[in-house]
């Protein structure tokens, strides 16, 4: 599960970097930056849902200070 989460985070960062590159290179004249940002948003939503599913199934356990 950790590896899958890490892979998705890296993919989000790559998509964000490519969107920046397209934005600077195309000067906003192309839709490639929009497409890359759309992919980033989709990956972020998928990561959020994966984390919620892992928490609901008990694969991911909350950590932190104990609640009194």
User: What pLDDT digit, counting tens, does each position of 12-60 carry?
Assistant: 999 999 999 998 888 777 888 889 999 999 999 999 999 999 999 988 8
Indicate the Cα dihedral angle 19, 23, 29, 31, nearest 10°.
Answer: 10
The rounded distance, in Å, linking the Cα atoms of 40 and 8 is 10
Give the single-character DSSP code of 1: -
Give residue 67's pLDDT: 72
């Amino acid at each position: 599960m950790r590896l899958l989460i890490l892979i998705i985070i890296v993919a989000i960062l790559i998509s964000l970097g490519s969107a920046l590159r397209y934005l600077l290179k195309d000067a906003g004249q192309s839709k490639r930056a929009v497409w890359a940002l759309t992919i980033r948003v989709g990956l972020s939503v998928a990561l959020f849902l994966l984390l919620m599913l892992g928490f609901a199934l008990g694969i991911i356990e909350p950590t932190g200070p104990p609640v009194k």
